[in-house]
């Protein structure tokens, strides 16, 4: 007779699925940053930027940022270059590069950002006279 061998089945955790609509809360007084997940290598956020709001010029010293437009469109400044980003487009912000995003339209601008590797520091740059943009 043939001898039966026991097979070990590796049981893995099921993947976590995030419903991004759960994170779309857009505040009225400033852009809303909803943290979705932080892993050992990445930080994932969903931003809702209402009409007329700006995520101010800021810099992340060691993390690269991928910015993906999920809805709407906005004006992006990367260093000293200005360009438009709209639904279905993305840009990559290198570490240490000052950047800003503004919603000059009437519909909310929704961005999915993926930053990594950490640490995830942010230094907001101020306008002349020390005025903070938010």
Q: Does the pLDDT value for residue 40 go beyond 70?
A: yes
Helices (H), 4-54: none
Nearest to 105 by CA among 67, 70, 54: 54
Model pLDDT for residues 43-101, shown as the tens digit of each residue? 999 998 888 888 889 888 889 999 999 999 999 999 999 999 999 999 999 999 999 99
> What percentage of the chain reaches a pLDDT higher than 70?
70
Q: Does the pLDDT value for residue 25 go beyond 70?
A: no
The pLDDT, as a whole number, for residue 133 is 41
Q: State the architecture of 33-124 in CATH terms.
A: Sandwich (2.60)
Kindly report the CA angle at 95 between 93 and 96, in degrees rounded to 5? 105
Share the mean pLDDT of the chain. 80
Q: Does the pLDDT value for residue 134 go beyond 60?
A: no
Distance, in Å, from the CA atom of 72 to the CA atom of 77, rounded to the nearest integer, reads: 17
- Per the CB < 8 A criterion, the answer to whether 110 and 33 are in contact is no
Tokens of 89: 């487009």
Bigger pLDDT: 58 vs 24: 58
Distance, in Å, from the CA atom of 26 to the CA atom of 44, rounded to the nearest integer, reads: 17
Of these ranges, 10-24, 25-39, 103-117, 118-132, the one predicted with the greatest mean pLDDT is: 103-117
pTM above 0.75, yes or no: no
């Amino acid at each position: 007779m043939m001898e039966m061998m026991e097979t070990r089945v590796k049981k893995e955790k099921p993947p976590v699925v995030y419903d991004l609509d759960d994170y779309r809360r857009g505040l009225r007084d400033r852009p809303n940053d909803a943290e979705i997940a932080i892993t050992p290598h990445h930080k994932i956020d969903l931003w809702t930027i209402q009409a007329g709001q700006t995520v101010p010029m800021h810099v992340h010293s060691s993390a690269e940022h991928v910015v993906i437009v999920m809805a709407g469109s906005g004006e992006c400044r990367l260093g000293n270059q200005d360009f438009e980003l709209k639904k279905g487009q993305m840009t990559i912000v290198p570490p240490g590069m000052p950047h800003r995003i503004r919603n000059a339209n009437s519909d909310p601008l929704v961005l999915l950002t993926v930053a990594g590797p950490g640490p995830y520091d942010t230094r907001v740059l101020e306008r002349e006279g020390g005025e903070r943009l938010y």
